[in-house]
Amino acid sequence: MDVQSSRMMTLHCAEKIDGGQPARTEISAIKVFVLAAYHRVVDRAIQVWGAAGVSGDLPLSRMYQTARTLRLADGPDEVHRILIAKNVFAQHHRVGGWDFAN
At 55-101, the pLDDT tens digits run: 989 999 999 999 999 988 888 999 999 999 998 888 877 877 666 56
Q: Is 96 left (phi over 0), alpha (psi -120 to 50) or beta?
A: left
**pLDDT score recorded for residue 11:** 97
- Cβ pair 29, 5 in contact under 8 A: no
**Euclidean distance between CA atoms 4 and 2, whole angstroms:** 6
Q: Is the confidence at residue 34, as pLDDT, over 80?
A: yes
Does this model's pTM top 0.75? My answer is yes
For domain 2-95, which architecture applies?
Up-down Bundle (1.20)
Residue 90 parent element (H or E): helix 77-95
